[in-house]
Amino acid sequence: MYKKLHNLSLKHLIKIRSHLGHKDKDLNIKLNSYIYGTRHNVNIYDIEKLWKPYRYLFYSLVENISKRHSFFIVGTNKNLPMDDFMSNFIYEFTNEKQNHKLFYIKGYITEKWVSGLFSNWKITLNFIDYIKNSPKIRKKRYQRYLHYLKGINTFEKNPVPDFLLVLNANKEVIKESTDLQIPILGLVDTNTDPDDFLYKFFGNNDSIENIQFLFEFIKEAIKEGRLKEQQLFFFYLLIKVKKNINKKKYG
């Protein structure tokens, strides 16, 4: 991806409609410096200014994944097939032999955000387990609730992640993450407050091509992060072996 990222052209970002924002009346004034202009009352990002944040975000993701930091993904755009994106994304990083999802993906939400999901996670997980395993309870009554939480791994002892990946800014999500001091990385459209995000994608959150590109972007960052982790492991292992050899030789 380092090579792909280097060769990423402005034409490609335009092709996936990354530069298109929301209506001019919804513009967050903190993003004025990133706006090229408007067309038909729609804000347009200055595409040349999106490149540097992409590079910074990619290297930051690689670094965090190499340190085994975990992520929880929130994508609640009803106009896009977020379930398909997430299922493909999770499938690619699933160890089929052990049927075990890799450590850095804590879970995901593609429907309505459930208030208090992280702050009351023990109650939430116990309730999900109760609904699934109790023969007496009317399950139809709670089908919608279970549907919202289908991306939660109930075997996870603590689903609270090191980072939250937000593809659609939501006030409840932002507030809960801020209260719990969970850093946020995610997609900043023209109607979004960029100060809520530690790491930022600037671009269109209503473009299916742009969201697909971001998932591919994150996949490559995970692969590079895993590779870096392995390289660091063997590097420190080699140092340890050399020290033991020297001890036997001179000790």
Mean pLDDT of 188-206: 87
Distance of alpha carbon 54 from alpha carbon 65, whole angstroms: 16
Mind listing the pLDDT tens digit for each residue in 80-106?
777 777 777 776 665 544 444 455 778
pLDDT at 96: 43
Q: Which CATH number fits the domain 2-242, given the four candidates 3.10.20.30, 3.40.605.10, 3.40.50.920, 3.40.50.10490?
A: 3.40.50.10490
Residue of 52 and 71 predicted with greater confidence: 71
75: its two tokens: 């994508």
pLDDT at 50: 78
50: its two tokens: 């999106």
97: its two tokens: 């032999």
Mind listing the pLDDT tens digit for each residue in 103-135?
577 888 888 888 888 888 888 778 777 777 776
Whether pLDDT at 10 is above 80: no
Question: Within a 13 Å sphere around the CA of 45, how many CA atoms are in the beta-carbon half?
Answer: 26
For residue 157, what is the enclosing H or E element?
Answer: none
Tell me, yes or no, if the pTM score tops 0.85.
no
Report the DSSP pairing between strands 105-109 and 100-101.
Answer: unpaired
The helix/strand/coil state of 184 is strand
89-93, 142-146, 200-204, 234-238: range with lowest mean pLDDT: 234-238
Distance of alpha carbon 132 from alpha carbon 145, whole angstroms: 12
Residue of 183 and 144 predicted with greater confidence: 183
Mind listing the pLDDT tens digit for each residue in 57-71?
888 888 888 887 888
pLDDT at 97: 41
Residue of 96 and 185 predicted with greater confidence: 185
Whether pLDDT at 199 is above 60: yes
Q: Taking a C-beta distance cutoff of 8 angstroms, is the pair 173, 166 a contact? A: yes
Mean pLDDT of 182-186: 88
Mean pLDDT of 190-203: 87
157: its two tokens: 């002892």
Domain residues of the chain, as ranges? 2-242
pLDDT at 100: 42
From the number of C-beta atoms within 10 Å of its C-beta (0-12, 13-18, 19+), residue 83 rates as middle
